[in-house]
């Protein structure tokens, strides 16, 4: 056994390093050792540099796309950004009162283009939905905002819910023809034909010459304030849906309607008012209990918080009824202005109002114009 270990030791001592096991001289410099770890590190550095270059290129492409989208959006809104006194085709001209410019805005309740209204249109056409009094009222306004209570799309992908609507996109140009400039999609029926139907409605409204509000390709777009005009000062519209949607997953990175938390909405109003103290901020909420005449205490608390944050008026809908009109700290709160073009015949649902907002350099005036809906058609009360 002893002789075995002696032989093993002699054998090990006689071994010399093989040239194949000796590290090759480094190509980096004389005397340095080119190890696998160094090669891997160098490779990783090159890969990181390549990734940074790709990321930089992608960021540049994204910025370019955003710039193009912004330019497109600005072109679409250019007509409404132009001073009212120089504008044509969107209501009347600005009225000069002394040295001040007076701008006039109208806000209507729910507009349905399906169910009973669809049957009316099939018989009499879309033009017949506008009475002479409404046409006269709209023609004297610079901006007319309506709440479109249905998607207007050819896409048929109904969401599983109780009431499902769909209007025809070819009916939208007639709304524009009679004076509508903006259609709000921030309600519980814009999503009736799914996300594709929502965004198709957005495009159809734009193609009809109007501005869609309250929805977008993601929540960040949906909650974005809309500048209605900059004369005689900036007038902003913020919209928000204050209820859960039936069988609708709240995905903030997908097409959706504006549904931000109340504290977020309050913060944005305060921030907007701080950055632009003279701006007029209009808030339009879709909320409340259907077929009721009064808001609940929580609504009043939230409405007051919005006014305290800087809102100048709240003009809201959803209940299909004309609800309480409150004045808080000199600001009007229309908890629900009811229907506008709708097929609900009960007296409770056929009484509504259009809100007329007049803005001058130093004053804001909001007043209700009572309407009665007969056979889907709104009529101004006491108008002959």
* Both tokens assigned to 18: 């093989």
* Both tokens assigned to 91: 């209501």
Q: Note the pLDDT tens digit of each residue in 301-328.
A: 999 999 999 999 999 999 999 999 999 9
What is the rounded distance in angstroms from the CA atom of residue 135 to the CA atom of residue 308? 36
DSSP classification of residue 127:
G
User: Residues for the chain: how many in total?
Assistant: 384
Q: Note the pLDDT tens digit of each residue in 21-54.
A: 333 433 333 333 334 445 544 555 656 666 666 5
Q: In a 3-state reduction of DSSP, which class is residue 86? A: helix
pLDDT at residue 382, rounded to an integer:
82
pLDDT at residue 130, rounded to an integer:
98
What is the rounded distance in angstroms from the CA atom of residue 206 to the CA atom of residue 169? 11
Res. 69 pLDDT band, cuts 50 70 90: very low
| Chain center to CA of 285 | 12
DSSP characters over 156-178 = ----SSS----B-GGGHHHHHHT
Q: Note the pLDDT tens digit of each residue in 175-213.
A: 999 999 999 999 999 999 999 999 999 999 999 999 999
Q: pTM to 2 decimals?
A: 0.77
Q: How far is CA 10 from CA 7, 16, 19, 58, in A?
A: 5, 12, 21, 65
What is the rounded distance in angstroms from the CA atom of residue 361 to the CA atom of residue 56? 46
What is the rounded distance in angstroms from the CA atom of residue 202 to the CA atom of residue 151? 9
pLDDT at residue 75, rounded to an integer:
47
The residues pairing with 256 across neighbouring beta strands, listed in sequence order, are: 216
């Amino acid at each position: 056994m002893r002789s075995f270990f002696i032989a093993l030791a002699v054998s090990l001592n006689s071994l010399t390093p093989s040239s194949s096991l000796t590290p090759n001289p480094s190509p980096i410099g004389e005397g340095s050792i080119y190890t696998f770890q160094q090669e891997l590190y160098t490779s990783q550095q090159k890969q990181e540099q390549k990734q940074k270059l790709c990321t930089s290129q992608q960021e540049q492409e994204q910025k370019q796309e955003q710039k193009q989208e912004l330019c497109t959006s600005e072109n679409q809104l250019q007509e409404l950004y132009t001073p009212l006194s120089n504008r044509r085709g969107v209501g009347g001209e600005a009225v000069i009162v002394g040295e001040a410019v007076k701008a006039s805005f109208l806000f209507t309740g729910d507009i349905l283009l399906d169910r009973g209204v669809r049957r009316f249109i099939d018989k009499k056409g879309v033009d017949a939905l506008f009475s002479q009094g409404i046409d006269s009222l709209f023609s004297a306004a610079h901006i007319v905002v309506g709440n479109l209570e249905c998607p207007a799309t050819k896409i048929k992908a109904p969401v599983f819910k109780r009431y499902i609507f769909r209007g025809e996109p070819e009916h939208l140009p007639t709304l524009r023809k009679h004076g509508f400039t903006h259609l709000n999609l921030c309600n519980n029926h814009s999503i009736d034909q799914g996300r594709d139907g929502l965004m198709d409605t957005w495009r159809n409204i734009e193609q009809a010459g109007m501005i869609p509000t309250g929805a977008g390709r993601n929540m960040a777009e949906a909650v974005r304030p809309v500048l209605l005009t900059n004369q005689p000062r900036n007038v902003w519209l913020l919209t928000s849906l204050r209820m859960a949607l039936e069988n609708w997953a709240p995905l903030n990175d997908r097409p959706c309607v504006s549904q931000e938390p109340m504290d977020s909405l309050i913060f944005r109003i305060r921030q907007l008012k701080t950055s632009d103290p003279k701006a007029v901020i209009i808030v339009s909420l879709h909320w409340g209990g259907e077929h009721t005449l009064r808001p609940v205490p929580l609504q009043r608390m939230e409405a007051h918080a919005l006014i305290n944050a800087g809102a100048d008026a709240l003009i809201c809908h959803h209940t299909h009824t004309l609800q309480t009109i409150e004045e808080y700290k000199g600001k009007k709160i229309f908890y629900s202005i009811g229907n506008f073009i709708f097929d609900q015949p009960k007296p409770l649902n056929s009484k509504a109002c259009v809100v007329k907002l007049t803005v001058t350099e130093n004053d804001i005036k909001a007043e209700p114009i009572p309407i009665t809906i007969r056979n889907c058609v709104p009529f101004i009360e006491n108008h002959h």
